[in-house]
């Protein structure tokens, strides 16, 4: 499959997600990085977004809660190229009833080649990157050509 270029803009749209056991850690992380995050557009799943907004004063576009479809909403926004980065503090020691949705969200982030942080250390590294304030080059699979080739197979 061919690759095409689609750079990420200097002002990123960042998705913020956390499992119940990690919500406070994400809120605390957002508070520590408030000056950096305030420049960017923030999306969050319902409860997480609400807590971040209330406790930090950051503006967050809130979607449904994860188990109610918020993870899937974020996945759709990733596929539509509206989300440029995913910060997902997941709890590896607790089972999640909506685990298939979580896996689908992480799969879409990988498919569309967006930066993902699943813990505080990685999230810190992403924010420290020079790409946070500049255009970030990235390659994407050329799904348009893939789909066009598939339609020829069906004729």
Task: Find out whether 46 is annotated in a ligand binding site.
Answer: yes
71 is catalytic: yes
Please pick, among 28, 71, 91, 124, the residue that the annotation labels catalytic.
Answer: 71
What whole-number distance in Å separates Cα of residue 123 and Cα of residue 82? Answer: 19
Q: Is 48 annotated as a binding residue?
A: yes
Q: Is 33 assigned to a binding site?
A: no
Tell whether residue 70 is among the known ligand binding residues. Answer: no
Q: Which string of DSSP letters, residue by residue, matches 9-78? A: PSS-EEEEEE-GGGHHHHHHHHHHTHHHHTTSEEEE-HHHHHHHHHHH----EE---GGGTHHHHHHHHH
Q: Is 56 assigned a ligand-binding role in the annotation?
A: no
**82 in a known ligand binding site:** no
Binding-site members are 19, 23, 45-48, 65-66, 98
Residues classed as catalytic: 71
Binding-site members for substrate are 19, 23, 45-48, 65-66, 98
């Amino acid at each position: 499959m061919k690759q095409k270029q689609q750079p990420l803009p200097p002002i990123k749209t960042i998705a913020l997600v956390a499992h119940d056991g990690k919500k406070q850690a994400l809120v605390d992380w957002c508070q520590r990085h408030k000056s950096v995050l305030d420049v960017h557009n923030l999306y969050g799943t319902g409860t997480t977004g609400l807590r971040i907004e209330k406790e930090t004063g950051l503006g967050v576009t809130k979607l449904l809660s994860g188990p109610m479809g918020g993870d899937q909403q974020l996945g759709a926004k990733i596929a539509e190229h509206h989300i440029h980065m995913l910060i997902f503090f997941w709890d590896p020691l607790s089972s999640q009833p909506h685990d298939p949705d979580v896996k689908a969200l992480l799969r879409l982030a990988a498919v569309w080649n967006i930066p993902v942080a699943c813990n505080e250390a990685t999230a810190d590294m992403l924010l420290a990157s020079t790409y946070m304030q500049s255009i970030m080059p990235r390659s994407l699979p050329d799904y348009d050509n893939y789909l066009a080739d598939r339609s020829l197979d069906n004729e």
